[in-house]
Each structure stands twice: as C-alpha cells, then as structure tokens.
Amino acid sequence: MLRDTLALHGKVSEARSRDSRNTILHKKFLGGTITLSAANSPAGLAMRSIRYCLLDEIDRYPASAGAEGDPVNLAITRTANFWNRKIVMCSTPTVRGLSRIEAAWLESDQRSFWAPCPHCGEYQVLRWDRLVWPKGEPQKAHYQCEHCSGEIQDWQKHQMIKRGEWRAANPESGTVGFWINALYSPWRKWGALAKKFLQDQKSQETLREFVNTVLAEPWVESGEAPDWQRLYERREAYALGTVPAGGLFLTAGADVQKDRIEAQVVAWGEGKESWLVDYVTLDGDTAAAPVWRKLSDLLGVSYRHAHGADLPIQRLAIDSGFGTQYVYNWARQQGPGRVLVIKGVDYAAAAVRLPTTVDVTHMGKRVPRGVRVWPISTGTLKSELYGWLGLPASRTRPATATSRRSAMSSSSSSPPNSWSRG
C-alpha cells in the first residue's frame, strides 16, 4: 500500500537494512509512528508509549499475554502519558459474561442505529425477530415494522439507512460505544441471512457463530450445567474397564492435586462419540516420586475391546496448573509424543491453540527442546459439550448400566494396590 498508493508514496521512510524506522511491525513517518503488535506478545504491547491505541477483535485475544496478564490492559496502560489519548476497541462478541467487547459496550453510551420505516416514518432498531418469511421460502424474507407492521422489502433498506441516525441509550457515560448487526449491511440480502439462519440451526456450534457474527450478540449458555436427563438417557450397558464395540482408540487425562493424581481413560469412536473406560485415583504426595511411577504404570496398561483385542492408551494429557515443575519433569521422561502437557485458559478463538515451550528446571533455567504446553480453552470446550448434550440422543440407549469392581482383564498388567477405582 505504501509503495503503490500515490498519496502515501514517500511518506514513510524507505526500508533499508538495519534501519529501525521502517520494519515490518514499525513504521516511522513525518509527525508520528505506527507500531503493530500481536496480542500474545507482552514485549510488543509494552515497548513504547502511545497516544492512539487501536485494539481489533479483542474477544479473540488470549487470557494473558505470556505471563504478563490481560493484553487489553497492557496495551491501554501504554497510553497513560497522554491526556488526549484515544482508545478504540472493536470485536465480534463471543459468550455473555466472558466477552470483553460486551463489558466495554455496557460501560459505554450504547449507541444503536435507528432507521425510519418507509411506510409510517417511525424510527426503530433493526432486530432479527422482526425478519419474517413464508415457510420454506427464506429468499422471500422481509422486515416487518414494529410500529405499523408494514412489510419492508430488502430494496428499501438503502434509503432507510441513508436517513438513519445513531442514538445513545446511556448518554451519561463518557465513553462512546457503537453496536450494529448484519441486517443493516448493504452487501448482505435479508433473504440470504434467513437462509443462513435455517442452515445454522442444525447444531449449537453453527448457531452460536450466527448469533455472534450475524446478530452481533453474545452467545447465551443454556445453563451452568446440562440437564441431568441428557446424561441419563445416554447411558449404556458395558463393563467398566472394557472398551465398547464402537471404541476405536484410547486416550487418558490426568489432574494433579497435592495428595493424589486423578486419571480417567476414555474410548473414542466415530463422530466424537466417547465412553468412559476407567477412572483411577493414584494416592500419594505429588512432590515425591512414587505417585509419578504409578502414573507411568498407567501408561503401560491395555484394555480389552468388546471384539477381543487389547487397546493401549495412545495419548495422555496432564494438567500443569498444580505442581507445574513436577508435571514437566515427569512428562519429559516419557518420551516425545506420548504425553501432552496442557494448561487451561478462558474462552479463546480455538479450543486448542498451538503449544509453547516453557519448560524450565527447578533452578529456573530454560530446558532446550523442553516440554511443550498446550493452551486449552475450557470455556469453549464446555460450551461445545453442553451444545452436544442439548441435541437428542443418536440412538436408544439400554436401560441399565453395569460397573466393574474386579481387576483388569488378564491381558493387562496388574494395577498397583494403591489405585482406587471410581
């Protein structure tokens, strides 16, 4: 852009080797500079004072920039030296109660765009519940005026917006805030939006994307926990410690506490269907070696499949939130690929993000090619799980389930005596 736009050509210093005035992330020009930074870079967010702070898609930022804390606050702090600073935050919302942009919006003067009806002239905010269409014909969608119930066609939208105006619902606030949804967009037909809505109702994930990106509203979880009947109707009759017929491979998850390690083994089938195969409690002080040897023994256990074969545990994920250094030390000894060290974070753009190498010794020295830690968005995964449980069961489940209290199958290695089964 700087090279090919005539009005900008020559305004920014020419790129030269070893010239800090014009780099990929920093441009200097007559009267100021512009610096670009990633939200996960604490150094980039804190390297210099700034007057204008522009933060885009803040709901997709990580919970923390490295170990430095909230990236939004880190960036805003850089403007403290300027009395005439300006801070702009933009984003598509995510989940109600966890959305950064929702919190900022509620503190603002909350301006919405009001457009007049072409029939009665009354002003209104365009809302999704006023968009109607004949059954099975979303392409014929039109907007129904909330005042006169007149039918407003898509071709009339341009004149409505041209005569519209911003109105504040909280004018006492000293912060200006704007909200608008896709119903106003001159590039998106109401019929196309209605068709997308019908398609996106098929799953909680696509419906959530519609609410966030089309309606520009935060997604509302149906509840803190799923209705218990949703779990009850999915029960199956199989012996704990065995792999049901639909299981294709096994994974394990481990949580570290001060006096024990809790671990579960899960079988996975097609379509993300899963079965709890085993749950064990490894008792012992997690600051000592014996309990970690028990966890290593669990990695060597196989479980009998309903068709007769023995399945090993392919991967084990272990939470590093407690006893972090002990987790790193143990994981490092298991060899590459078998163990994944994870760390829970708040809502993020993806359920699992790329790992970072953060392994250090007990003296604080970084270990070359050490353990990689995978950030896991617990909120995103819970939302996905609750969405699945909100769907009807894929098939009828047997009315009873059995539990197994005996030892593992004869082909498995014997568990340590200190294991207690859930």
Provide φ and ψ at 90, rounded to 5°. Answer: -130, 150
392 is in which domain, residue-wise?
Answer: 228-421
**Structural domain total, the chain:** 1
| Domain contains 279 | yes
Tell the residue number behind the tokens 């909280």, with chain if given: 170
| Domain contains 376 | yes
The sign one gets for the Cα dihedral 103, 104, 106, 107 is: positive
Residue 413 has pLDDT above 50, yes or no: no
| Domain contains 314 | yes
Residue 348 has pLDDT above 80, yes or no: no
Band of residue 418 on the pLDDT scale cut at 50, 70, 90:
very low
**Per mean pLDDT, which range of 194-208, 264-278, 294-308, 340-354 is the poorest?**
340-354
The reported pLDDT for the residue numbered 412 is 34
Which uninterrupted H or E stretch holds 196? helix 190-200
The reported pLDDT for the residue numbered 20 is 67
What is the per-residue pLDDT across 369-383, written as a single tens digit (0 to 9) for each?
667 888 887 767 777
What is the per-residue pLDDT across 135-172, written as a single tens digit (0 to 9) for each?
889 999 999 999 999 999 999 999 999 999 999 999 99
Average pLDDT over residues 197-210: 87
What is the per-residue pLDDT across 241-261, written as a single tens digit (0 to 9) for each?
899 988 999 999 999 988 999
| Domain contains 193 | no
What is the per-residue pLDDT across 397-408, written as a single tens digit (0 to 9) for each?
433 333 332 222
| Domain contains 169 | no
Residue 339 has pLDDT above 60, yes or no: yes
The reported pLDDT for the residue numbered 362 is 53
CB 7 within 8 A of CB 1: no
Tell the residue number behind the tokens 């023995």, with chain if given: 310
Task: Please state the pTM of the whole predicted model.
Answer: 0.55
Residue 421 has pLDDT above 70, yes or no: no
What is the per-residue pLDDT across 77-117, written as a single tens digit (0 to 9) for each?
888 889 999 999 999 998 887 889 999 999 999 999 999 99
Q: Strand 111-116 and strand 178-179: pairing? A: parallel
Amino acid at 187: W
- Return d(Cα 334, Cα 344) in angstroms, integer: 22
Q: HSE on the CB side for 14, CA within 13 Å?
A: 2
CB 197 within 8 A of CB 207: no
- Return d(Cα 92, Cα 61) in angstroms, integer: 12
| Domain contains 350 | yes
| Domain contains 326 | yes
Provide, rounded to the nearest whole percent, the portion of the chain with pLDDT above 70: 80
Band of residue 353 on the pLDDT scale cut at 50, 70, 90:
low
| Domain contains 71 | no
